[in-house]
């Protein structure tokens, strides 16, 4: 009987390795087919236009400016509207041909994602074991949003890759009970660089610092060190801003994030025709830009007039949008900007894999969020002891949920954080199955 059990276990392991190999191969096919066969309608628009101009000006003139000046250096004015992470990455691939520049950047960020996901896959196998890693690897490599995001000249692709490597580093450094100081500094440096890609995560170190006071005061010094080191790149960038534009930051995007996220169901006065862009129909739009205090005051006045609606929106409604499948303020479905053609529309196998992912999306996303919340609450209350790795991941996902109660919860912004939902959903299923198996074995 013992021999048969070992034999069956070995069989499952071999089958799991075959599945992982097939998934990885198919994931490469998805990315290759998508990059080669996707045609975005006017790819350099809105945010992408800013990023393109920044990259071009950095490459040609070594000036961080979003102005398009037709190669006239004298007209350039430095600014600090966007974060510098993606523009500096994209500047590496600037050529004199606009189309070639965009194509080179898209290929590069796809290759970067493949490399980072390969490392993450190796980490996932170590975390869950080869058998339980199969569903996680499947979602990592076939989730359509992770694939199509590479075809846009936007920061989400590189942000996803940075988060994937952060997870790998955190796993490696937290396998022992106490993370070493060199390992902590390494994670903090990468996190600091990631902040410069997406500043929405810049307050997480402080959040973690506060949590360390509640959970384990002996980790306060390490949390403080993590905060200081991870903020160093941001501080240096703010010093650059102070020298170049006379202030440490440009509050415009912060106001936008708060302002654009203040409309219940992304509609102005519940008018469906304003969906996705309610601020364009708001007669008080310009008043929001008098400052953050002014914006918050206007939001508070409107909330007082319809308290229940706004309370539901900020606590529940925003999360429903942030984690949903379909992207709004774009083409919708899995596309940020409209596409002229896409293999997810034209190829039978990719249409099928999109449908499969669509079918199971809600299940694993909400299961992952619930599991993360359970780990976070249990850790704070001291009811159940989890490893340092899962506690930190749960705190990060909790932070993401809380910060998007304040700012605009566009589904596009939630895509990178679904990496964490994938891990927690598999973690939850594995733990539940093992729990049932243990109870069954005792009977």
CB-based burial label for 23 (10 Å; 0-12, 13-18, 19+):
buried
pTM: 0.93
At 39 the three-state DSSP class reads strand
Backbone angles phi, psi at 335, to 5 degrees: -115, 130
CB 173 within 8 A of CB 184: yes
Q: Which two tokens stand for residue 403?
A: 């910060």
Per-residue pLDDT, averaged over 243-255, amounts to: 84
- pLDDT for the residue 72: 67
What span, in angstroms and rounded, lies between the C-alpha atoms of 362 and 369? 11
193-226 pLDDT, tens digit per residue, is 999 999 999 999 999 998 888 776 667 888 899 9
- Determine the pLDDT at residue 8: 56
Report the alpha-carbon distance of residue 128 to residue 76 in Å, rounded: 52
pLDDT average, residue stretch 98-111: 96
pLDDT, tens digit, for every residue of 7-46?
657 888 899 999 999 999 999 999 999 999 999 999 999 8
- pLDDT of amino acid 71: 61
At 270 the pLDDT is 86
State the pLDDT at residue 424.
97
Least confident stretch, 31-35, 83-87, 287-291, 314-318: 287-291
Banded model confidence at residue 440, pLDDT cuts 50, 70, 90: low
Q: Is the pLDDT of residue 311 over 70?
A: yes
- Phi, psi (deg, nearest 5) at residue 199: -70, -5
| Residue 290 scores a pLDDT above 90 | no
What is the reported pLDDT for 296? 86
Residue closest to 157 by CA, chosen among 202, 112, 126: 112
Rounded-to-integer distance, Cα 240 and Cα 231, Å = 14
pLDDT above 50 (res 1): no
Q: Are 37 and 47 in contact (CB under 8 A)?
A: no
Phi-psi group of 326: left, alpha or beta (phi > 0 → left; psi -120 to 50 → alpha; rest → beta): beta
Contacts 24+ apart (CB under 8 A), 227-230: 228/188, 229/184, 229/185, 229/188, 229/189, 229/192, 230/188, 230/189, 230/191, 230/192, 230/195, 230/205
pLDDT for the residue numbered 2: 41
Q: pLDDT by residue (tens digit) across 58-101?
A: 999 999 999 987 766 777 899 999 999 999 999 999 999 999 99
| 369-427 per-position pLDDT tens digit | 999 999 999 888 877 888 889 999 999 999 999 999 999 999 999 999 999 999 999 99
Q: Percent of the chain having pLDDT more than 70?
A: 95
**Helix, strand, coil distribution of the chain in percent, nearest 5:** 75, 0, 25
**Hey, which residues does 12 pair with through a beta bridge?**
none
Question: Which residues lie below 8 Å from residue 397, measured CB to CB, with a gap of 6+?
Answer: 369, 372, 376, 417, 420, 421, 424
Predicted confidence band at 3 (pLDDT cuts at 50, 70, 90)? very low
pLDDT at 6: 60
Q: What are the tokens at 30? A: 């998805």
What is the predicted pLDDT for the residue at 48?
94
Judged against a pLDDT cut of 70, whether residue 271 lies above it is answered with yes
pLDDT at 369: 97
Print burial letters for 172-192: b (CB count within 10 Å at least 16), e (below 16).
bbbeeeebeeebbbebbebbb
* pLDDT at residue 288 tops 80: no
Report the distance separating Cα 144 and Cα 353, nearest Å: 8
pLDDT of residue 76: 87
pLDDT of residue 337 exceeding 80: yes
């Amino acid at each position: 009987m013992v021999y048969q059990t070992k034999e069956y276990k070995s069989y499952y392991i071999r089958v799991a390795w075959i599945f992982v190999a097939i998934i990885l191969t198919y994931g490469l096919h998805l990315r290759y087919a998508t990059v080669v066969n996707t045609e975005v309608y006017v790819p350099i628009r809105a945010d992408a236009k800013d990023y393109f101009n920044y990259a071009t000006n950095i490459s040609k003139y070594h000036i961080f400016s979003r102005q398009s000046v037709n190669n006239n250096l004298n007209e350039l004015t430095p600014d600090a509207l966007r974060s510098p992470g993606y523009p500096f990455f994209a500047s590496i691939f600037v050529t004199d041909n606009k189309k070639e520049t965009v194509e080179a950047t898209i290929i590069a960020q796809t290759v970067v994602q493949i490399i980072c996901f390969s490392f993450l896959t190796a980490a996932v196998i170590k975390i869950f074991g080869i058998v339980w890693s199969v569903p996680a690897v499947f979602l990592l490599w076939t989730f359509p949003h992770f694939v199509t995001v590479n075809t846009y000249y936007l920061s989400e692709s590189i942000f996803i890759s940075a988060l994937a490597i952060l997870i790998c580093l955190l796993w490696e450094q937290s396998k022992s009970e106490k993370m070493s100081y060199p390992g902590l500094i390494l994670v903090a440096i990468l996190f600091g660089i990631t902040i410069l890609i997406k500043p929405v995560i810049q307050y997480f170190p402080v959040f973690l610092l506060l949590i360390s006071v509640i959970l384990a005061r002996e980790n306060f010094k390490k949390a403080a060190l993590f905060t200081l080191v991870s903020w160093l790149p941001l501080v240096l960038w703010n010093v650059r801003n102070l020298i170049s534009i006379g202030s440490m930051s440009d509050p415009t995007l912060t106001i936008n994030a708060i302002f654009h996220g203040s409309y219940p169901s992304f509609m102005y006065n519940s008018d469906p025709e304003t969906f996705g862009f309610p601020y364009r129909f708001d007669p008080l739009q310009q008043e929001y830009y008098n400052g953050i205090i002014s914006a918050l005051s206007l939001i508070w006045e409107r909330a007082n007039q319809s308290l229940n609606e706004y309370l539901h929106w900020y606590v529940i409604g925003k999360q429903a949008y942030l984690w949903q499948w379909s992207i709004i303020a774009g083409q919708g479905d899995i596309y940020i900007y409209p596409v002229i053609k896409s293999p997810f529309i034209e190829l039978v196998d990719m249409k099928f894999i999109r449908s499969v992912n669509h079918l199971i999306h809600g299940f694993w996303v909400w299961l992952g969020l619930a599991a993360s919340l359970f780990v976070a609450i249990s850790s704070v209350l001291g009811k159940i002891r989890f490893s340092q790795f899962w506690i930190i991941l749960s705190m990060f996902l909790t932070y993401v949920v809380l910060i998007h109660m304040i700012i605009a919860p566009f589904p596009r912004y939630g895509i990178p954080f679904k990496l964490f939902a994938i891990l927690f959903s598999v973690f939850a299923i594995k733990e539940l199955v093992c729990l049932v198996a243990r109870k069954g074995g005792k009977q």
